[in-house]
Amino acid sequence: MDLLLQHLVDGLSVGFAYALIALGFSLVFGTLKFLNFAHSELLMFSAFVGWAIADHGRGNFVLALVVAVVAGVVLATALERALIRPVVSRSFIAPFITTLGLAMILLAVAKELWNTDPHAFRVPFAQGSVEIGSVRVTTIQWLINGVAVVVMLGLAFLIQRTRFGLMIRAAAENPDMAEAMGVNTGRVASLTMALSGALAGISGTLLAVSLGAVSVFAGGIYGLKGMVAMIVGGIGSLRGAVIAGVVIGLGETLITAYVSSTWRDAFAFGLLIGVLLWRPAGLFGRREDRFVAAAV
């Protein structure tokens, strides 16, 4: 039983990391109605910025996290204004293809800047832990869980209780009607992308600290897992993204512990196929494919 509890604690941290990534995907798709393939590389790019700050600031994690978030916000906003917005109205598929191209470009730039070798991301508290009975919870796990909960609650408050959240829900439900009622949908798009960029910065930095290293390929597999969590939870459902992310993290950890690490990555995609066969809209999605704003 003690060993099972330890695996559940470990899996919960992994799941929260996936959930943060999934929230970035879900927020953009639910509001702006396109899948931002570049989110994975924004995550990786932001993590490298955080690594650079920590590397030159003697492991100052708080400063690294703040700068990584700023980098994610600036980059996401710039990409939306310069490259995504001009093609959004041209066709349904154009934003998808554009963000896919942006992902490839960002990956190429990252390889040129930082090469393909992993770079150690060390922080002073990385080796700390707290014993709760026979269960060991590392400082990094406390950090991931704590930041994830704060971000989720903050996002729920933002969507449900603020004017900006009302604008997001209106633009997601019916952008033409929202525009007619005075909502600046272009501003909503920019702010939504900025928020997704902030989530990329947070999740990328937390993942890098958890893994102890950052690589130009980090965005690929973890971004893909976040995308799977978004789809399994229900496209546009923030609550679904969180729950699916946690389920995937727990499932992967338990399969690695009790079956084989070979099946770790297969779990997420097997779950994806099973859910889509059973419930094509996802666990908490709606067939209308609207933004489920009550969802965190």
CATH of 2-115+139-278, picked from 1.10.760, 1.10.3470, 1.10.8, 2.40.50, is 1.10.3470
Write down the pLDDT at residue 289.
47
Write down the pLDDT at residue 59.
59
**pLDDT one digit per residue (tens) for the chain, 296 residues:** 678 888 899 899 999 999 999 999 999 988 888 889 999 999 999 999 999 888 776 658 888 899 999 999 999 999 988 888 888 877 778 888 999 999 999 999 999 999 889 988 877 776 777 777 778 888 888 888 999 999 999 998 998 888 888 888 888 888 878 888 888 888 888 899 999 999 999 999 998 888 888 999 888 888 899 999 999 998 778 889 999 999 999 999 999 999 988 888 889 999 999 998 988 888 887 654 444 443 44
Write down the pLDDT at residue 165.
86
Q: Which of 58, 57, 100 is nearest to 79 (CA)?
A: 100
Q: Residue written as tokens 């997420």?
A: 268
Write down the pLDDT at residue 56.
73
Domain map of the chain by residue range? 2-115+139-278
Question: What's the rounded Cα separation, in Å, for the pair 100 and 147?
Answer: 29
Sort 100 into a burial class: Cβ within 10 Å, 0-12 / 13-18 / 19+: middle
Write down the pLDDT at residue 293.
43
Write down the pLDDT at residue 95.
87
